[in-house]
Amino acid sequence: MGKHRLASTTHTLELRQIAELNVLLQRGGVAFEGGTLCLLVAQGPPSYPYVFAQVDGAGGSRLVELHGAELRILSAHFHLPHHWD
């Protein structure tokens, strides 16, 4: 799956937070469910995207859907004041 840059015309909070987390994840992934979380991917409408984690492991890469609780933990891991609904 290719990496996409956040368009400068996009102003939704969720997409900005995803972009901030991806910058930090590029410096080094985070252990997650039997692999390493390397990238967050937003799919769906920008106003309320579905967020997936790209997890790389021994069996290859896979996408795992993340919910607010997991995103709050990830933001806290990086000491970011994000808000996830």
In this prediction, residue 17 has a pLDDT band, given cuts at 50, 70 and 90, of very high
Query: Where would I find the H helices in the chain?
Result: 13-27, 68-77
pLDDT at 80 over 60: yes
Measured distance CA(43)–CA(54) in Å, rounded: 13
**Does residue 42 contact residue 14 with C-beta atoms inside 8 Å?**
yes
On the question of pLDDT at 7 being above 80, the answer is no
Give, in order, the Cα–Cα distances in Å from 9 to each of 12, 49, 83.
9, 16, 21
Q: Confidence class of residue 11 from pLDDT cuts 50, 70 and 90?
A: low
Q: Are strands 50-57 and 30-32 parallel, antiparallel or unpaired?
A: unpaired
pTM for the model: 0.83
pLDDT at position 48 is: 81
pLDDT, residue 52, reads 97
Please check the confidence at residue 6 and state whether its pLDDT lies above 60: no
